[in-house]
Structure 1
């Protein structure tokens, strides 16, 4: 782990991340010493800092640090956390001297390769996401809802969760976004009220747009998803997985999955 460019594991107890979950993060795939979609990850961090009114770190310096760490890895996961730093009184950021940047490596998740072959099983989570358009789409450090969703998921045999918001609208999975296909129509949740606008979701939607294929952003229900011909989930590490089952409903088609998987073969690295 590297904190502000120094290899260490200690962070100030007064850091805003510790005190208030004040910050944002992104999680990137490293393959053959290169970070997949590096520019998109940096853009996400910049957008998050701007929306959270956080001071922006030196992005070229951050990119260099990320690339130096990645260069030593054949396959790994790189997580980057940004916080306003330590200081301030109460909720105020006044007094924070400098932003904190935390970079850490994790082993590559081996189970995704198996799930690409057999498909992922999902269970509808009883934990719903609060609607908050101010924070919707962001990958901020307040992830208690996901912790609770994961806790419930760990009690089941499922691989992922189908997550709704408090209005009953389908939003995402615990750690992934989703698409579904009904006939020739492709859908994904709108994410204007809750959820995370993931890097892979953005990438796949851009790829579909370039090919002239429409992807409809909707406020869909659980029934909309269960009645689909096919469901696919995605994140920066999977990068896409076919869904074989949600609760008691099974899916066998892989048309959309094969298309999106092919799109991932041309992902840029840096």
Structure 2
């Protein structure tokens, strides 16, 4: 099912700036027992992205209600929400845009995540690099051509996910997930202030570990640092946490931190 501005339909105006310029943002959430998992966090993500992109005139109350109504039609699944600047403007100018567009899409939950939680994830280093742009870094804007290229390249390999660097050769994330690793008692994640996405699940894991007295260090480092890691795992809002067992023929066996996080009830208020 697809809803546009609260109406069940699949046709978006070609004049909408999401079509013209990728002028908008999105979030993807799990549906559990007919409810949007972490609804508040997903709405806050969209609001923060719209503030960064200077998108105004979003009916947030309507969007919240539409998300809840859509989720209630399924027991489990995936809910994707897109907010665009809407219709209006000439060329790049946003002048004349009166109302942001709200798009909600439902799909099935990717069941292969259940299997990967047992077998672990194999990563392959991508040759596609992410451009550095602090104005857009951290948010999930609609300009995803880098990820499309990364995914296309990944599908030519036997790996499950891609390990992605920025244009300076520093670790950022995976194609559709954030990255964590442990060395001894220290835990690290790539800094995403120049490129990449500050995922909702990434934030949850950092809060969970902080509550347990474990500080996660956000670092800008090359991929070779992972050769020294004792454990690696990846996260996103759907997985929500998966262990990494291999990166380009280097194998990782430990699941100490993964087991601790995976056993935690993520429905708690962190």
TM-score range, shorter chain: over 0.9
Q: Which blocks of at least 5 consecutive residues in structure 1 are unaligned?
A: none
Query: Which residue in the other structure is 1:158 paired with?
Result: 159
Aligned length: 268
TM-score (norm 1): 0.97
Q: How does 1:10-159 map to 2 (within 5 A)?
A: 10-159=11-160
Q: Which blocks of at least 5 consecutive residues in structure 2 are unaligned?
A: none
Is it true that 1:187 corresponds to 2:185 in the alignment? no
Check conservation: 2:14, 2:20, Cα contact below 8 A. Answer: yes
Query: Which residue in the other structure is 2:266 paired with?
Result: 266
Instruction: State the Cα deviation string for residues 15-52 of structure 1 (Å, max 9, x = none).
Output: 00000000000000001111111110000000000010
In structure 1, distance between residues paired with 2:57 and 2:217? 33
In structure 1, distance between residues paired with 2:187 and 2:216? 5
The alpha carbon displacement at 1:208 in A equals: 1.4
TM-score (norm 2): 0.97
Q: Secondary structure at the match of 1:47?
A: helix
Check conservation: 1:46, 1:56, Cα contact below 8 A. Answer: no
Structure 1 segments, 4+ long, off by >4 Å, are none
Instruction: State the Cα deviation string for residues 46-104 of structure 1 (Å, max 9, x = none).
Output: 00000100015122221111011111211100000000101100000101121100000
In structure 2, distance between residues paired with 1:26 and 1:268? 21
Instruction: State the Cα deviation string for residues 171-193 of structure 1 (Å, max 9, x = none).
Output: 00000001000001000011111
Q: Secondary structure at the match of 1:98?
A: coil
In structure 2, distance between residues paired with 1:266 and 1:195? 23
